[in-house]
Amino acid sequence: MKILYAIQGTGNGHISRAREIVPLLERYGEVDLLVSGTQADVWPVQQVKYQLHGFSFVFGKKGGVDHYSTWKTMDLRRFIRDVRQLALKEYNLILNDFEPVTAWACRQQGVESVGLSHQAAFQSPKVPRPKSIDWAQLVLKYYAPASHYVGFHFDKYDDFIYTPVVRSEIRNAPVSDEGHYTVYLPAIDDRILVPLLKQIPSVRWEVFSKHAVSNYEEGNVLVNRINNEQFNHSLASCTGLFTGGGFEGPAEALFLGKKLLVAPMKFQYEQQCNAYALKQAGIPVIWGSNKNWLPEIKAWIESRQEHQFSFPDETAAVIDQVVRQFAR
């Protein structure tokens, strides 16, 4: 059996999930990897056969998307060329983690594909989301369309939705509480975060920044460039995680039993939906309309937090079901 696994390269969650799923897929046949996008800090362990430009948004430095840099990276002619040149007929199964080139190539060639991603969960109307109408809903629906969908979310909101794929390095990590707080807010410059966090001198902060050019320390704030092993250790040994409205990071913190505070990116609909779902479950959220974060952060530090989440290790069973149901 030949399997193509197409992965979105914006952010780290898609590739982190792929690193868990690929070894499971290799039990069933030969697996080719395709990655498109330009904003990931981690990379698949396995060899990537196709590396494409795709479409990615670029993280800004003030809490949202850098729209100008995002626009500059867009190359519609290249995207259309890649869609037309991608040969898919040889594959018995095509899995797509929100990757647009493969998705539209499948449509053009009349080949079925399976959307296997967090974004796939939003095909269900049962998934929590803000009541406001946002044009970005169309992005979730049409950015990487598939023939079938298998989604992951914080809860099993529908019959095709499963709980998060938690990395084995997190599942197997020794958990402790060394008293520090881990911070990962990729859309905010560390030069903005450090002055804010220094105003709570009783807390030791470990910040992981996409924008830092080198590691440094200011008072009670340690700033690190993105490093997977260092981040994993910091997360497993922290008191709590302060992060954006992504999916995998909050899920890992909840799995480890850590306190969680989320600040979703402004004008990023998926993150707003994730934060809305977490808010319904009792997790504190700092919304983009809030201009004074300090009281919210202090209240979070001073509060206790008890989770009601259960993320069993069911990834192998999900992949087995997908292969049996959709492979041709």
- Rounded to an integer, what distance in angstroms lies between the CA atom of residue 88 and that of residue 111? 7
Paired strand residues for 151: 117, 161
Q: Could you report the per-residue pLDDT of 246-275, keeping only the tens digit for each?
A: 999 999 999 999 999 999 988 788 999 999
- Rounded to an integer, what distance in angstroms lies between the CA atom of residue 297 and that of residue 278? 17
What's the whole-model pTM score? 0.90
Instruction: List the structure tokens of 306.
Output: 């008890």
How far are the Cα atoms of 144, 185, 250, 270 from residue 277, in angstroms, in the given order?
23, 19, 11, 11
pLDDT over 50 (residue 67): no
Strands of the 240-243 sheet, one edge to the other: 216-218, 221-225, 204-209, 180-184, 240-243, 259-262
pLDDT on residue 68: 46
pLDDT on residue 128: 94
Strands, DSSP E only, in 177-283? Answer: 180-184, 204-209, 216-218, 221-225, 240-243, 259-262
CB 179 within 8 A of CB 52: no
> Which residues in 304-322 are b (16+ Cβ under 10 Å) and which e?
ebebebebeeebeebbeeb
Q: Could you report the per-residue pLDDT of 6-57, keeping only the tens digit for each?
A: 999 876 788 889 999 999 999 999 999 999 976 555 566 678 899 887 666 5
- Rounded to an integer, what distance in angstroms lies between the CA atom of residue 122 and that of residue 137? 9
CATH class of 168-302: alpha beta
Domain ranges in the chain? 2-166+313-326, 168-302
Say whether domain 2-166+313-326 belongs to CATH 3.40.50: yes
Same-fold call for 2-166+313-326 versus 168-302: yes
Q: How confident is the model at residue 133 (pLDDT cuts 50, 70, 90)?
A: low
Q: How confident is the model at residue 74 (pLDDT cuts 50, 70, 90)?
A: low
